[in-house]
Amino acid sequence: MAAPPSVLHTGLPESLLSDPVAAIRGPGDLVRFYRELAGSAPLLVVTNREPVVWKGGAERFALPPGGVSQTIHRLLCQVGGRWIALRDSGGPDLLRIPGEPGAPGYRLDRLEVPSALMEGHYAGFSNGVLWPFFHDEEGRIGEPPNALAAYREVNRRVAGKVMDSLREGASGGIRPGMIWVHDYQLALVGQEMRRSGGALPPLAFFWHIPWSAPVGGAPPPRWLFEVVTGLLSYDQVGFQTELYRDRFLETVFSLYGSRASWDGETLSVATASGVRRLHPGVFPISVDPDHFRMMSRDPAGMLPALSLLSDCGLAPGTPSGGYLISVDRMDYSKGFLERLSLMEALYENDPSLAGRLALLQIAPPTRLSVEAYRRYAEEVERRSEALNRRFARGAWRPVVTLSRSLDPSLLAPLYRLSRGCLVTATRDGMNLVAKEFLASQDGGSAPLFLSRHTGTAMTMEGLSLIDPADPALSARIVAQGLSMDGRIRERKNRQALADLREHNVYRWMAENLLRPLSRTSKEGALLFARPS
């Protein structure tokens, strides 16, 4: 008997049936893919942060450097649609973002939230409670009074803004092929939209950060049921890795017991507001490796990178110019203290490295309205100074810190010129820095030393893994990696780059869009099954 077809009935063009996303390499492929699935239906994206920075004057606004939001921005410019975000720069509530000539561009609806409410939502609940909880840092949780109420209220207002944009009548209203909501700050938006009633396009959500394992025996935090139930309102909830997706499922089962069931594709849960059916998917996020490769050798970025290194006392080609690079927001989950301990162990084990191999940490401050972050930044500064006092050699310092953001055009050559990259996150949804470094090496042999607690370590093979919780062991792995035959290191980097080119950020987007949009294209019937 013939095997049943793995694609049941999709209504999708033939070109998308065999392997719909494997051939996607760049923005043009993604736009074509979107059009084949959604036709002229626009896309509606909802995020906490806006994709542009208001400048005013003739220039009006600027695009922040690179990153995932700029990939989504480029798609929206081409296919048209709307982006709803909390306003974090000046200017009007509504901005028309133009596309290239001939492309529709999109409308950015910015939601102004009073500062006290924003404080409770962002610093209070999102980054004072959810972030530390899901990064297994319960000791850093600090929940100001009314933070949960502020979180609910901001989610409600964002949902209201989305509903308004669906209702605005023929002229201003939008009929999107799907609505794509992002990250832990906005978990309740889908539920609030469903409470408004009426038919909705498919609602997709992407959870960018880790999901922690349910705490055996201990009662769950009182808000967890609410956040999980909020997520059940979406038709698709995407996670970075299987581990995080499976932990989410475990959490659902721990909270809902026999009212939940999972058939390997669809999760069904009998909630107080009815039975919810959704697809919890695994979509590891990525970068545009060709773009980083190109930037890493572009003289326009290379020349300023060389002069920046000279200013830092790390002039390439000089005996004291070697450096390991790290690039992260100043966040405790990125393991700054663990990294300093690793460097300390490295110098203790091999004192000849002092004077020859520094740590260049590029670390812009972040979330300074949260006390845990302010205290952490102070502690990192104290520890960096102590290491500098102990291992200084003349004018040479072991730790060079740049506390600011650098444009990716400058970051890429800095990655390329380094002796290696240290990623020491104690927990990380994915970690894009690791992927940017690998893409920028392009034929180079500098190794990536990657924390095994990152999504990148869980989803890519053949990388040198370290454990920031064990700096002595990690320092030995780093020393071995640095002295490994250059050809072996180069081969490892090449293999990683090939993997990244296949699993790039455009493909990540396509995989997120595939199921919800194919559902729209069949007018509400979920008929698509991924090829096995």
Residues lying near ligand ADQ in the complex (CB under 6 A) are found at: 67-68, 208-209, 285, 327-329, 362, 364, 405-406, 411, 428-433, 436
Of 117, 125, 137, 367, nearest in space to 222 by CA: 125
Q: Provide, rounded to whole angstroms, the least separation between the CB of residue 130 and ligand ADQ.
A: 12
Q: Provide, rounded to whole angstroms, the least separation between the CB of residue 333 and ligand ADQ.
A: 7
- Taking CA atoms, 520 is separated from 42, 232, 345, in Å, by 12, 19, 56
Cβ proximity to ligand ADQ: between 269 and 433 the closer is 433
Cβ proximity to ligand ADQ: between 83 and 184 the closer is 184
Residue type at position 311: D
Phi-psi region of 210 (alpha: psi -120 to 50; beta: other; left: phi over 0): beta
Cβ proximity to ligand ADQ: between 84 and 209 the closer is 209
Question: For the residues of 216-236, what is the DSSP string, one character each?
Answer: SSSPPPTTHHHHHHHHTTSSE
Say if residues 241 and 459 touch (Cβ distance below 8 Å): yes
Cβ proximity to ligand ADQ: between 70 and 320 the closer is 70
Phi, psi of 362 (to 5 degrees): -105, 110
Q: Provide, rounded to whole angstroms, the least separation between the CB of residue 513 and ligand ADQ.
A: 16
Cβ proximity to ligand ADQ: between 192 and 288 the closer is 288
Cβ proximity to ligand ADQ: between 152 and 435 the closer is 435
Q: Provide, rounded to whole angstroms, the least separation between the CB of residue 75 and ligand ADQ.
A: 16
**C-alpha 240: how far from its chain's center?**
9
Distance CA 336, CA 375 (A): 13
Q: Provide, rounded to whole angstroms, the least separation between the CB of residue 430 and ligand ADQ.
A: 3
Q: Provide, rounded to whole angstroms, the least separation between the CB of residue 351 and ligand ADQ.
A: 30
Residue in this structure with the two tokens 């581990």, named with its chain if needed: 243
Cβ proximity to ligand ADQ: between 295 and 432 the closer is 432
209 three-state secondary structure: coil
Q: Provide, rounded to whole angstroms, the least separation between the CB of residue 378 and ligand ADQ.
A: 19
Of 211, 214, 212, 222, nearest in space to 253 by CA: 214
- Strands in 43-47's sheet, in edge-to-edge order, are 94-97, 106-111, 81-86, 43-47, 178-182, 203-206, 236-239, 274-282, 267-271, 260-262
Cβ proximity to ligand ADQ: between 193 and 430 the closer is 430
Q: Provide, rounded to whole angstroms, the least separation between the CB of residue 73 and ligand ADQ.
A: 14
